[in-house]
Each structure stands twice: as C-alpha cells, then as structure tokens.
Structure 1
Amino acid sequence: MREFVSLKVLDRFRTLFERLGVDYPLMRKILQIKLTMDGRRMPTIFNQSAKKNGHETGDQNNFVKSLGLYALMGLIMVPFVVMGDNYMFQMSFLFGVLMFLVMTSLISDFSTVLLDIRDRNIIASKPVNRRTIGMAKTLHILLYLFFLTAALCAAPMIAALVKHGVLFFLLFVVEIVLTDVLIVVVTAFLYMLILKFFDGEKLKDMINNVQIILSIAITVGYQFVGRSFDLMQLHVAFEPKWWQALIPPLWFGASFEWLLRGQAAPHFIVFTLLAFVTPIVSILIYTRLVPFFERSLHKLANDSAKKGREHGRWLDVVSRFICSGREERTFFRFSSLMMGNEREFKLKVYPSLGFSIVFPFIFFFNVLRNQSFVEIAASKWYLNIYFCALLIPTVVMMLRYSGKPKGAWLYKTMPLSSPAPIFRGTIKAFLVRLFMPVYLIESVIFIALFGVRIVPDLIVVALSVLLYTVICFRTFRKALPFSESFEAVKQNDSLTFLPLLLLLALFAGVHLASTFVTGGVYAYMALLVVLNAVVWRKGFAISWDALRDKG
C-alpha cells in the first residue's frame, strides 16, 4: 500500500496522539486505507471525463490530479487580492468564492467521510476504541480540507504576500483556517438538520444536487477567470446594514479593514469578532452534538424513499398525448422515472442542462460589450437559442447507461416484436422531462428580450431540435436504454460529437438563411413538419437481431 507524505508528517506527533488515548498504529493504518480510497475515487469535477476504459491503474491518484484543477480555479480570486486597497470589497468577495468552492466540494466529494456509516459497522465492531476511530475520521477531514484549500488559495496567497506584505499574508492564512472550521461545522449542522426531519434518501438527493451544481459552477467559472480582470477599475462603497451580520464573507473582509487599515468603525469591529468567535464557538457546540450526529446516521441505511408517485399523474397525462401506443407509454413513463430518480445518471447528465441554459447567455453578453441593447433586440441574435440543443447528443448517448445496468433483464420479459416502442418512448421522455423545460425557460427569456416577433422562429427551432434528436439517435451505437454500465463508455462514441455539432450549426445556418426570404421562415417550418413526420415514423425501425449483432 502506498506510503503518504502526510502520514510521515503525522508520525512526528505520535506521542501526542498516544497521550490522547489513541491507538496510533491502528489509526495510521485506517488513515492510510482511507487516503488510498480517496485516490481511486473519481472527483465530481472529473465526472464528465470518467473512466474511458472501464478501469484505472493503481498508481493513479484522482484526488491529487483534481487539486491541479482546483488550483486553476483559484486564479479567479487573484484579481480580488491585487486590484486595489478596498479590503472590505476585495476580501469579502474572495472569501465568498472560497466558501462556495470549498463547501460544495466538501459536500459533493467528501460527504462519505462526514456521513461514513461503514466505520461504525465494520471498524467499530472490532476491538478498536471509539477515540481512535473518531481521531482517524477527524484527521481525514482535516487532511482533505488542507489539500483542497491549499490548492485553491495557493495563487491568491502568493499574490497577497507579494502585493500586501507579511501581515496581510498571515491574517489571510488565519482566516482561511477559520473559514474551513466554519464550513465543516455548517455542513455537519446542515446534515443533522436534514437527518432530524427527513430520511437518508432526502440527504442523498441533496448531496447529488450539490454535485450537479458544482459541475456547472466549475465549467461556468472558467468564463469568469479572464473577465475578472475587468473588475480592476471598480470603486465600491460599503454601506453597513444590520442583515450583513448574517453574511460570513463580510466578517472576514472586515477583519482586514480593522486590523490592517485601522478602520475602527463599529460594524468592522463587530464583523471581525464574528469572524474569530463564531468558528470557535461552533466547533465547541459541534463536539457536544457529535453523539447525536452519530446516532442520526443510522437513517442513511434506510432506502425506503417514496419516489415517482408525485410525478405519476402528469406523466400519464402527457404520455396519452404524445405516445402512440400502450407499450410506448409504458416506456415513456419508465424512462421518465429513471431520469428523475437515478442519482448516477443525473450526476452524469444534468450538468448538461445547466450548460444549455448558460451558454446562450454567455455569448449574448459577449455581444453586449460591443452593441447596445436596442441594437441587439432588433437583430437576429435570438438564434443563439440553438445553443440549448448542445445537450442533445450527450444525453442521447448517455441514455443507454445506468448505475444499475443489471436491471435490463426487464426488457426480456416484454412481449414486443420490435424495440421501436422502447426507443421512441425513451427519446420522448428525454425531450419532455429534460429538454423542454430548458427550452421553455430560454424561450420566455428570449421573447422578453427580442419581442413576440420571434415566436415563429422559436417554433422552427423546436421542430429542428425534434429532427436533430432522431438524427443523433440514429448516429450513435444502438443499445437498450439504461442497459450498460457507465464504466463501459467508449472513447469512439465521443468522436461522433463534432459532426453532430456541425449538423446543429447547419440547422441554425439554414434557419438564418430563411429569415432573409419573405415567408422563408414559414416555408422552412412546413418542410420541418413533413420531415419530422417521416423521420419519427421510420427512424426507430430497429429489429431485435440488429441490437444483438451490434452488442
């Protein structure tokens, strides 16, 4: 088993741990195993590029590799260290970004530590004292936070030392430590609150949603790294309000104003005291609540969540309108529930929904830099809405994967002469459940921006997307929905994305060309109606034998 440098450092404090009643050799072995497992786990920020070959070598350490990406994300905080001398604004914003990144990372990738019931079931049943288990768990969290925070803050700390000197740097380091303490306690309190009133399934859903948010935030964050330097000329005036005492980033920003610049206004003093006192008090309260927290963790073993019932009625209503037969309606409902309930599928696919919402506006705001809003509203930039269809190739390809593919035996029990109803029902479920909400949100916003004149164009976009979806389905390798493991994702599947993206650009180009011809949009709309009628009828004509041959 690999020997970690962090464990060698801990060896120097062996005597201290033994005085605390810890079985140090055993604690060290537990930590070594936990750190080894951390290296093998795929971090959330890598979920879009997970295991290509279905296996990993033992020498790879995914956690260490992820630190490089976090260090890159830390560059977004550098401008707020060097931009000027408005410490309140600069450092409050910096700590806001830092707290968001650390807390979402802690929840998404390290909840297994805070919520580890395996220690209780496996290790605690052996002759290992509770103090040793608790210390191993605590050190595991502290080591993770140390490496994560060090990666995120490396660049801004260097910038702080160079720009503002040693005192600023030391205060920065102290407040980073206090921030980590506060984040751990707040996260634990949040888990306690959820476990107090809900079952373990609700907590697992919350963690999954945070993982999705983190994936989106990491990707969108790249867009702001370069743009952050535009803030260099900002001059922000701070006006104290009572409710600002509820915003922790302001506490840490105020500390720099009072302790380094001598701004002894009452609100700066109060915020500084909150920054130092709150983390210390909260950790003391947390240590008293640890027994209650440990008792609450037994709820995580309960998988008796009620799923899908609240969605059943509207799924039945929608399926009667858009599905052509009972078999197709059955698989429409089945696929809808799978997309909404399976956590691993949501983690792989749902970030694409966020990207589809964000991307049209990223390009839109780029245009705003060079043109006035009135000029844009009178232009054809509403065709940016085609960017929301970027998710279609990804989701259509991922529909054949599942975290529990062994359930695919279900298809063999169905007396179907053709798998066409399965595929057609699944694709329609994707469009209704995942794509249409995104498209409707985009449409409402674009109508507000460009006016009702674009309604016919939005209909054309919707028809183009329907046609494009079937083409994507026909392009990828065929497999029954949710019948393959995510570890079986093939590298050659991704090679088809570029042609499909070019095809989407072609749809947008033809649409743009039709707008220059009188009545062209309506003619193109009629053509798309005919093409959709043919393609949706013929595009799913696949035999069982063809599936077996390709499998």
Structure 2
Amino acid sequence: METIKWLRMLDPLRNVFEKFGVDYPVMRKILEIKLLMDGRRAPTLLQKSSKNADPATQSNQFIKSLWIYIVLSLVLVPFVAMKMNFMFQMSLVFGILMFMITTSMISDFSSVLLDVRDRNILFSKPVQRKAINMAKLLHVTIYLLLLTGSLTVVPLLVGLYRHGILFFLLFIVEIILMDVFIVVLTAALYWLVLRFFDGEKLKDIINYVQIGLTIAMTVGYQFISRLFNLMDVKVAFTAKWWELIIFPTWFASPFEWLLGEGGNTYIIFFSVLSVVGPLAVLWIYSLLMPSFERNLQKLATHQARGKINRLRLADRLSVLFCRERIERLFFRFSWDMMGRERDFKLKVYPQLGFSLIFPFIFMFNMLRSNSGFAAMREGRGYLFLYFCALMIPTIVLMLRFSGSSKGAWIYQTIPLKNTAPIYKGAVKAMIARLFGPVFVFQAAIFLFIFGARIIPDLVVILLSVLLYTVISFMVLDKELPFSRPFQNTQSGGTFVFLGLMILLGVFAGAHLGFTFLAYGKYLWMLLLLVFNFIAWKLAFRKGSLNHLTYD
C-alpha cells in the first residue's frame, strides 16, 4: 500500500517513540489505517476521485492535489523576491500563508482534529492511550507538513536565491512556528466551543467559523496593506499597539529586525512574540488536552434540535414562491437538506462569505480612489452588488451532492415522472435560503449608502440574478438534487464557469448602459421580467426519471 512508503520514514525514529512510552507497532498500524482511509476522502480544493476505482488501491487524493498548492504558492514569489521592506513584504506573505493553511485546516482537517472514532473503537480495546494520541498527532502533522511544504517550497527557494541562507533558515523557523500557532488556535477554538456547547452546535459552528474566517482574512488582506504608507517606491511602517492582534506582523518582524533596517521597540517585541506566542499557546493547550479529549465525546451524542420555527418559515415561503403542491414539497425538502447537510454547508458557505464581502471591498477601493464619500454616493457604485451573484453557479452545481446520497433511492419510489417540480423546488429553495439573506443584507446597506434612488436598480439587479440563476441551471449538467456523493465532485467545467462569470459582467454592463437612457432602467426591468418568464418556462420543462441514475 502507498501509505507504507510514507510510514517507512518513521521507522528510524522507533526508539525515540518507545522512550516516550509509545507502543510503536500499534501506533504505526493505527496511523496506517488513518492514512488509508484518507485515500477515500476528496479534499476541498480538489474534489475529484475515481468513482470506479478499487478502494483498496485508491491513492490519497490530498497528495494528488498538492500540485495545486504549489501553483497557488506562486502568488507569494513577488513578495518574497522584492527588496523593498521586509516588514511589508513578509507580512503579506505570512498573511496569505495563514489564510490558506487555516482554511485548509478547517475545511479538510477538522475531521482529523475532531475524530471520535478512536474513542468509540479503540478505547474499548487493550490499546495504549499514548499510541492513539501519538497516531492522531502524527496524522495531523503529516498533512500539515505536506500542505505547508507545497505552499512554501517555491518561495523558500526564491528567498534563498534573493536574500541568502540566513533568510532561508529564518523563513523555515517562522513557518514552523506559524504552523504550531495555527494548529493550536484551531484546536483551542474547538475546545472552547465544546466546553460550553454540545457536539451538534460545534458541527454547526465549524461551518460558520469557515465563513467568518473567509470574511476576516479577506478583509485582513486589505487591512494589512493599509498598515503601510506607500509613497513613490518607498515603504514606511508605523507600528501601533493594536497591531498586536495582526498575527502576520509577528512572524514578519524577525526579518526586519535581523535582515532589514534593525528593530525598534515594537519590532523587537513582535519578534519575541513570534517565538513565545506559539510556544505559550502550545503549553496552554497541553494543559487543556485532557479536557479537550473528554469534551470530544459530545460529538458522539445527538440531541434533538428545534426545527419548528424553521419549518414554519419554509412552509410559508413555499406557499409564496411555489404554485404546485409537488414543487412545494421539494422546496421544503431542499430547504431542510441545505440547513442540516454539514458537508454541503462546508463546501457552499465559504462561497457565501466571499459573495457577502466582495461588493464592499470593491466599493471601498472606489472610495479611496474618488474624492470622498459624498462623490461616491452620487455615482453608480451600487452596481458592485452584482458580485453577490458570483456564488450562484457553484451552488447550483453543488445542489446535486449530499453526504446522505445513498438515500437517493427514494426518487425511484415516488410515483412521479415529471422532474420539473423537483428541480424547480430545489432551485427556488436555494435562492430563498442561501442567496436571499445575502442579497437582503447587502441591499439594506447599499440603500443606507446610496439612498432610496437605487430602489429601481435593486429590483433590476434582483431580476438579473434570477435570470442568471436559471441560465446557470440550464448550462450546467443536471442531476437529481442531493443524489450524488461529494466524492464524485468533478473539477471540470472551468470554461463553463468562466463563461458564466463573463455573463454576469454582461448583465452589469447592460444595467450600466441603460442607466444613461431616459427611463432606461425601467425599460431594462421590463425586458428582464419577460426574459425571466421565458427562461423559467424553458428551463423546467417536463422530463422523465427513467434516464436518471444515482449512487
């Protein structure tokens, strides 16, 4: 098996493990099984697997996806290669690295950190606890090293060539410290949630943390770049006390201190924090580890969750948006699935985070380039609201996947030969549950900024997005909602998604063009109503279930 090749690297350290009281053969076997099982799980970044492959010989999909991380690391090369200001360039480098590694930790490695199968299966057997805990630690460490190595191998080589061996060695040390800091903070966050809530709440919060992290880190890019005053080609850094919470500056400070222009009090203090901080949180976490392991048992418990209010809301919305009884049924079914399917939320909710903040990021950049807030309010910056629809094609595609896809046999038992109500109900539920709240929230803020004059424009944008949604459904491959396992997600369709992104730009451009005509926005609104009526009729025509299959 492929996992044995990786484990052979641990064999020379057998005596070290045994000196710490670890039963090495048992630990090695547990780790081997963990890595073998990981071969059947597709990572978030590369959700691709061989559906017909033999599970016994199926290779690890995460390892296959590492080349994508190497490609992504190329964005770091210009910042490492520049000889401008170490504090500036390395803050950006570590900011990007922390974002990539942390999101990967939450999206792909939460199941590793929160694995309770060890307790359920092994704790009842005569297996040493140290062997179980060491296997778990090595499991996380192996993937973290592979991920971090893929993201930093090219920047490390560029840094060695441009800045010398001291930069190279310092970069390696700071990367290791950064990894420790990320892992411990992630685990500490889970401990904090489990300490006060049950396992069901943690499973939900993991999804919401990913959204919040996406928003925070994306906004953080903008914030980090504004720590510096760029004048001509010179970069000036002015440290302030509140920058203590900007963690990338910790790991960038040693470069400025040792290789740059020297260190003031803040630079030295941040440099010390880059070492003391990770070691301190690691020590604190080691003290909390027993409590963390006890609280993990909450993940094995399932408590009933009140859904009465949510179901009532789904019932009301289904009556409002759906005319047919069968369509209402699948609206409520899809609404419930999107609310409780954690795998679905883990894949889709980060897209909501990006769609939520992108319009404001572009509007903020426009504010900086214009003469001021008053001038921006009189402009057409409200058109940035079209960016909230960037998530639509991805979510429409993801409607076919589910962690409970084996239950798709139910479609074959329903005495229903017309698929239109199934698809139509699912798409409407997606609009109401996922897109609707994002649009309403953003529209309210845009109304506050630009005033009541943009109400017709908001209606036009909504109609454009509805048309964009149905077009996305028409051009993407169709499968029964929630009938495919996530392991069958394919990475193809790049050109289709690119075309849909261009189409969204066309809608925004058409909207902008009609604003220059007298009553142009109302004319475009009328045309969009007609186009929507035709498109929704064409997209959801009668079909047969007989040609559809499920896994």
2:79 touches 2:92 (CA, 8 Å); kept in 1? yes
Counterpart CA distance in 1 for 2:418 and 2:384 is 38
Is 1:136 the counterpart of 2:135 in the alignment?
yes
The one-letter code matched in structure 2 to 1:298 is: Q
Q: Deviation per CA, 1:10-68, whole angstroms, max 9, x where unpaired?
A: 22222222222222233223223333333442122224xx3475657735432223322
Q: Deviation per CA, 1:328-382, whole angstroms, max 9, x where unpaired?
A: 4443333222222212222343344345456667888999999988999887786
- TM superposition score normalised by structure 2: 0.80
1:105 touches 1:214 (CA, 8 Å); kept in 2? no
Query: Equivalent of 2:545, from 544, 547, 550?
Result: 547
Is 1:425 the counterpart of 2:447 in the alignment?
no
The one-letter code matched in structure 2 to 1:481 is: P
Seen in structure 2, the aligned counterparts of structure 1 residues 54 and 498 have a Cα distance that, compared at 3 Å, is: farther
Counterpart CA distance in 2 for 1:473 and 1:75 is 34
Counterpart CA distance in 1 for 2:221 and 2:152 is 17
Which residue does the alignment assign to 1:289? 288
Which residue does the alignment assign to 2:404? 404
Which residue does the alignment assign to 2:185? 186
Q: 1:249 Cα shift?
A: 3.2
Q: 1:286 Cα shift?
A: 2.8
The one-letter code matched in structure 2 to 1:462 is: L
SS at match of 2:237: coil
Seen in structure 2, the aligned counterparts of structure 1 residues 62 and 532 have a Cα distance that, compared at 3 Å, is: closer
Q: Deviation per CA, 1:482-528, whole angstroms, max 9, x where unpaired?
A: 34444556799888667766766665666566556544442343344
The one-letter code matched in structure 2 to 1:548 is: N
SS at match of 1:9: coil
Q: Which deviates more, 84-93 or 9-18?
A: 84-93
Q: 1:450 Cα shift?
A: 6.8
Q: 1:195 Cα shift?
A: 0.9
Counterpart CA distance in 2 for 1:449 and 1:16 is 63
Seen in structure 2, the aligned counterparts of structure 1 residues 31 and 437 have a Cα distance that, compared at 3 Å, is: same
Which residue does the alignment assign to 2:18? 18
Which residue does the alignment assign to 1:522? 522
The one-letter code matched in structure 2 to 1:101 is: M
Which residue does the alignment assign to 1:127? 126
Which residue does the alignment assign to 2:93? 94
The one-letter code matched in structure 2 to 1:148 is: L
The one-letter code matched in structure 2 to 1:30 is: I
1:360 touches 1:388 (CA, 8 Å); kept in 2? yes
Which residue does the alignment assign to 1:460? 460
Where in structure 2 are there 5+ consecutive unaligned residues? 223-228
Seen in structure 2, the aligned counterparts of structure 1 residues 64 and 427 have a Cα distance that, compared at 3 Å, is: closer
Seen in structure 2, the aligned counterparts of structure 1 residues 219 and 54 have a Cα distance that, compared at 3 Å, is: farther
- TM superposition score normalised by structure 1: 0.80
The one-letter code matched in structure 2 to 1:198 is: F
Q: 1:451 Cα shift?
A: 6.5
The one-letter code matched in structure 1 to 2:108 is: D
The one-letter code matched in structure 2 to 1:162 is: Y
Counterpart CA distance in 2 for 1:435 and 1:132 is 47
The one-letter code matched in structure 2 to 1:235 is: V
1:3-402 correspondence to structure 2 within 5 Å = 4=4, 6-47=6-47, 50-51=48-49, 53=51, 55=53, 58=57, 60-84=59-83, 86-210=85-209, 233-241=233-241, 243-260=242-259, 263=262, 265-304=264-303, 306=305, 308-324=307-323, 327-354=326-353, 356-357=355-356, 385-386=385-386, 388-402=388-402
1:331 touches 1:425 (CA, 8 Å); kept in 2? yes
Seen in structure 2, the aligned counterparts of structure 1 residues 233 and 60 have a Cα distance that, compared at 3 Å, is: farther
1:108 touches 1:210 (CA, 8 Å); kept in 2? no
Seen in structure 2, the aligned counterparts of structure 1 residues 238 and 55 have a Cα distance that, compared at 3 Å, is: farther
Is 1:439 the counterpart of 2:439 in the alignment?
yes
Seen in structure 2, the aligned counterparts of structure 1 residues 146 and 446 have a Cα distance that, compared at 3 Å, is: same
Q: 1:285 Cα shift?
A: 3.2
Q: Which deviates more, 250-259 or 103-112?
A: 250-259
Counterpart CA distance in 1 for 2:51 and 2:455 is 45
Seen in structure 2, the aligned counterparts of structure 1 residues 16 and 111 have a Cα distance that, compared at 3 Å, is: same
Counterpart CA distance in 2 for 1:471 and 1:268 is 53
Q: 1:298 Cα shift?
A: 0.8
1:511 touches 1:521 (CA, 8 Å); kept in 2? yes
Seen in structure 2, the aligned counterparts of structure 1 residues 110 and 329 have a Cα distance that, compared at 3 Å, is: same
Counterpart CA distance in 2 for 1:476 and 1:246 is 43
The one-letter code matched in structure 1 to 2:15 is: T
Counterpart CA distance in 1 for 2:500 and 2:240 is 53
Counterpart CA distance in 2 for 1:216 and 1:455 is 27
1:212 touches 1:351 (CA, 8 Å); kept in 2? yes
Seen in structure 2, the aligned counterparts of structure 1 residues 140 and 469 have a Cα distance that, compared at 3 Å, is: closer
Counterpart CA distance in 2 for 1:260 and 1:419 is 65
1:53 touches 1:490 (CA, 8 Å); kept in 2? no
Counterpart CA distance in 1 for 2:478 and 2:413 is 20
The one-letter code matched in structure 2 to 1:395 is: I
1:52 touches 1:489 (CA, 8 Å); kept in 2? no
Which residue does the alignment assign to 2:225? none
Identical aligned pairs, as a percentage?
Answer: 51
Q: Deviation per CA, 1:304-327, whole angstroms, max 9, x where unpaired?
A: 252644534443444443333655
2:46 touches 2:491 (CA, 8 Å); kept in 1? no
Seen in structure 2, the aligned counterparts of structure 1 residues 167 and 111 have a Cα distance that, compared at 3 Å, is: same
Q: Deviation per CA, 1:375-431, whole angstroms, max 9, x where unpaired?
A: 998877865655544443443343343221344466678787966554443332222
- Paired positions, count: 545
2:107 touches 2:346 (CA, 8 Å); kept in 1? no
Q: 1:445 Cα shift?
A: 6.1
The one-letter code matched in structure 2 to 1:38 is: D
1:73 touches 1:222 (CA, 8 Å); kept in 2? no
The one-letter code matched in structure 1 to 2:127 is: V
Seen in structure 2, the aligned counterparts of structure 1 residues 56 and 213 have a Cα distance that, compared at 3 Å, is: farther
Q: 1:473 Cα shift?
A: 4.3
Seen in structure 2, the aligned counterparts of structure 1 residues 353 and 114 have a Cα distance that, compared at 3 Å, is: closer
The one-letter code matched in structure 1 to 2:63 is: V
Q: Deviation per CA, 1:150-190, whole angstroms, max 9, x where unpaired?
A: 22222332233333333333233222222222222222222
1:478 touches 1:550 (CA, 8 Å); kept in 2? no
The one-letter code matched in structure 1 to 2:461 is: V
Counterpart CA distance in 2 for 1:472 and 1:180 is 39
Q: 1:197 Cα shift?
A: 0.7
Counterpart CA distance in 2 for 1:442 and 1:52 is 40
Seen in structure 2, the aligned counterparts of structure 1 residues 491 and 119 have a Cα distance that, compared at 3 Å, is: closer
Q: 1:101 Cα shift?
A: 2.6
Q: Deviation per CA, 1:287-307, whole angstroms, max 9, x where unpaired?
A: 333222221111111132526
Q: Which deviates more, 328-337 or 146-155?
A: 328-337
Q: 1:218 Cα shift?
A: 11
Seen in structure 2, the aligned counterparts of structure 1 residues 526 and 17 have a Cα distance that, compared at 3 Å, is: closer
Q: Deviation per CA, 1:60-103, whole angstroms, max 9, x where unpaired?
A: 43222332222333333334434346434443443333333323
Counterpart CA distance in 2 for 1:549 and 1:417 is 11
Q: 1:237 Cα shift?
A: 2.3
Counterpart CA distance in 1 for 2:271 and 2:198 is 38
Seen in structure 2, the aligned counterparts of structure 1 residues 449 and 463 have a Cα distance that, compared at 3 Å, is: same
Counterpart CA distance in 2 for 1:215 and 1:54 is 34
1:212 touches 1:347 (CA, 8 Å); kept in 2? no
Q: Which deviates more, 289-298 or 33-42?
A: 33-42
Q: Deviation per CA, 1:256-295, whole angstroms, max 9, x where unpaired?
A: 4445568464444433333333333333333333222221
1:377 touches 1:450 (CA, 8 Å); kept in 2? yes
